[in-house]
Amino acid sequence: MPSGPDNTHVIVFANEKGGTGKSTTAVHVAIALAAKGARVACLDLDHRQRTVGRYLDNRAATIKRTGQDLPMPVHATHTAQTEAAFEELWGQLSAGADYLVVDTPGRDDPFARTAAALSDTLVTPMNDSFVDFDLIGQVDPETYKVTRPSFYAELIWDARKQRARADGTTIDWVVLRNRLQHIEARNMRRVQDALGQLAKRVGFRLIPGLGERVIYRELFPAGLTMIDAKAFGQMGLGHVAARQELREMMAALALPEPALPLFADAGAA
């Protein structure tokens, strides 16, 4: 199992279901930390879709094309299938980094399981729906009360126990609740209640995530994020609202971070 410097905080974004905003959130967290002056490395474990890798490649191309001074993490994609190659790449990215941000595939993957066990902060994004909730828990179809944790929650529970036995470290498991605009209010309350019940049983923190906004998808080709205020020129109300969501999410993650003003290098909203 790979290891990195003790002072590198590992943040792993993991969810075996696709379409939850995992990669978009991972990129925004990485850039937000880099904007504070932190040394950030990103590892994309999804060599098929490679969303984080392509996002940051697009960002590097924008920096080269425009000459803008944008915060930019070091990044790499794990394409090999051997444990030795994984350990080597993990070590290279961890060396000298304050944070290692890891994006995992939206499917069961052995390297994703290893990364989860090595995380200091494990983030599981999900949308406000019982389709997504089913990944971590099951509910009664009439009362919507939680009946039992699902396989994935048990997997994370085992990873946390394994890590505690190995080095006494506690993995901070965070379920990040993204908001779907088309979900009606009663269903959102039911999902919230079920998440609250399950959080007490399996020990994750529940925090607000990002909204379902076209803005995020439009930023991908240029590799920009909501942190890059100076690159937008004039920001609309949608940008301002999304930027505030990101600020709230970063605060709720409660990551150990450099004592610098939030988004100081990216300009004020």
Mean pLDDT of 35-61: 95
pLDDT of residue 108: 87
Most confident region among 21-25, 60-64, 162-166, 242-246 by mean pLDDT: 60-64
The residues near 238 (Cβ < 8 Å, ≥ 6 apart) are: 213, 215
Has domain 9-252 been given CATH number 3.50.50.60?
no
Q: Does residue 213 carry a pLDDT above 90?
A: no
Residues 106-138: tens digit of each pLDDT: 888 999 999 999 999 999 999 888 889 999 999
The mean pLDDT value of the chain amounts to 88
The DSSP result for 198-246, as a single string, is HHHHH--EEEEEEE--HHHHHHGGGT--TT-HHHHSS--HHHHHHHHHH
As a whole number, mean pLDDT of residues 29-44 equals 96
Residue carrying the six token digits 């444990």: 83
Q: What is the pTM of this model?
A: 0.90
Amino acid 189: pLDDT: 86
Cβ 4 vs Cβ 90: under 8 Å: yes
Tokens, residue 83: 């444990």
The Cα 137–Cα 148 span in angstroms is 6
Question: From the CB of residue 133, how many other CB atoms can be counted at a distance below 10 Å?
Answer: 22
Q: Which of 254, 68, 59 is nearest to 262 (CA)?
A: 254
Span 138-148, mean pLDDT? 94
Residue 44, phi-psi category: left (phi > 0), alpha (psi -120 to 50), beta (remainder)? beta
**How are beta strands 99-103 and 146-149 bridged, if at all?**
unpaired
HSE (side-chain half, CA atoms, 13 Å) at 200 = 6
Quote the pLDDT of residue 266: 46
Percent of the chain with pLDDT over 90: 61
Helix, strand counts (H, E) of the chain: 10, 9
| Residue ranges covered by each domain of the chain | 9-252
Q: What is the largest CA-CA distance in the chain?
A: 57
